[in-house]
Structure 1
């Protein structure tokens, strides 16, 4: 398994991957191991982390893999967990960890907005605050933040998730501007819906309107998205797209945002026309 073009960029480098025990993070880990990188996988649960480490070592015996069971939303835990890793040096940081729970704004529990912001935005901030001084001292390094198409296009049913990913997009843009004078690269990947455990868990929770909008774009495999991310990072791209459809949607959102809204609204309107009651909320839902 290899992403081919650009794989030499990661050979011999030490790469930290948050969310490295499953989904896109685990696919990235396998490709990087094949490319000759050494890895440190970061995730909340020790069990899946150890399973991921064992699978990588079995497939690539020469790959050195360490793990750190850390909740990236906890800044103190990140500082403690990253300290021994930074002592051995880090070349690339891949911020992949994230959470989501779809639902209409008026129906989502208030704490969902904070928990998704804590994991998807502040989790990246915490990791960068730990690693960036190390990169500045070395005058080298590469940060790759994994966002989402929901970080550039607001989607029905994702008010909490979109807010966190929009924040990540702005953060990445500012970070790129601040760090390039130090020789540090920053990239942000904006993948579409990807076949991961997170997608499996969230799909049943989607309102019908959200499901209809999501159905206008194909679901990509974690392997496809991982390969696209690594190719883009190796090229030095700031914005990395999971596929051409995502790139086109992003272009439409920037050049003709009304058209992107029209496409989403048209899918939503079909659901509302077929089942008007599905989109009607009773008064006092927030109470």
Structure 2
């Protein structure tokens, strides 16, 4: 989306289960640079603060790799398993794909007569792997081709995933600031948290009726993966209530049994570490 430095080299695949360093001269590198005076002059507002210049990026079919760069970008992903980094990043690419995300082309190298695949590695689009699997792999250091880079001009980005098959990373967040509002009125929603990110959960539907109000809870489900530690917060008649949950695969949080907002529920959730949760309202 913004400034970038790209170095092209011979685009030759390396084999599965090989050391990336052995094939460094066969990879393509790309770096999303931070804005500075030597790169581009950023207009300033009346308070001498940079004027946000977010980009609008729409991808097409097939596999895409998107780096939004500085400021808040609006990124809509099309068909295919895409990789989207909301802010700055350094990438190492093989066949235009970040190393570690997608399966490399398997070649029989010189003097090699077999290819060992007895321990299948998790790759997006292979072995029923999804974005959560790649996020786990990334957090464990298994995606050497993606390195997020912080920037003082970072901001919250807006992602639209049209296929539910994309891996997204939101690197820049402002602690305490709501990055997005997520409506769970119609059912569970997948929330991908950056570390320190706060989202507002809203719902104008809830279990029960005017005669019966069951114990209302927020449900956090990892669906096979661990949900990060979360801080929950909501207001009731001017008083702020809080709860903290530790990492886990499934848990519930007691919230008011009647809407605490303007005829709807309004719950703020902050992730203490990056991760994903499937959140719904239930009883």
**Larger helix fraction of residues:** 1
- Could you say which structure has the greater relative contact order, defined with CA pairs below 8 angstroms and 6 or more residues apart? 1
Larger gyration radius, structure 1 or structure 2 = 2
Fold shared, TM-score > 0.5 on shorter chain:
no
TM-score (norm 1): 0.24
